């Protein structure tokens, strides 16, 4: 079982997607996204299975991401952050997003 201390060790921040590209090298349909997490964290690359969204729907959208995990290889690219999502009833990845426009870089508490 995870403890509250385990949760506190995760650095979950709000970012804004600034770039989205197809990523056909992944095993499952995915996008390669650049996410701006503000001046403290900067722009990081994330690989995510959010392909049921159109690329222009994602660009400019706020997202939640774990920014302090080690980078991990997905196909030929490295994902520097984990963009958070939940599966819907059809097992498509649905983004975790703030319900208000909040400043990028904001840390979950």
Burial 30-53 (b: 16+ CB within 10 A, else e): bbbbbbbbbeebeebbbbbbbbeb
Domain presence at residue 24? yes
pLDDT tens over the chain, length 109 residues: 999 999 999 999 999 999 999 999 999 999 999 999 999 999 999 999 999 999 999 999 999 999 999 999 999 999 999 999 999 999 999 999 998 989 999 999 8
Domain tally for the chain?
1
CATH of the domain at 89: 2.40.50.140
**What domain range includes position 70?**
4-95
Domain presence at residue 103? no
């Amino acid at each position: 079982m995870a403890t509250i201390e385990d949760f506190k060790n995760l650095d979950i921040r709000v970012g804004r997607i600034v770039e989205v590209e197809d990523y056909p090298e992944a095993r499952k349909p995915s996008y390669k996204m650049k996410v701006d997490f503000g001046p403290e964290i900067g722009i990081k690359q994330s690989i995510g299975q959010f392909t049921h969204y159109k690329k222009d729907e994602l660009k400019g959208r706020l997202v939640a991401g774990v920014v302090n995990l080690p980078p991990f290889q997905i196909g030929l690219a490295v994902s520097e952050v984990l963009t958070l999502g939940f599966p819907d009833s059809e097992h498509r990845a649905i983004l975790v997003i703030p319900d208000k426009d909040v400043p990028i870089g904001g840390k979950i508490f």
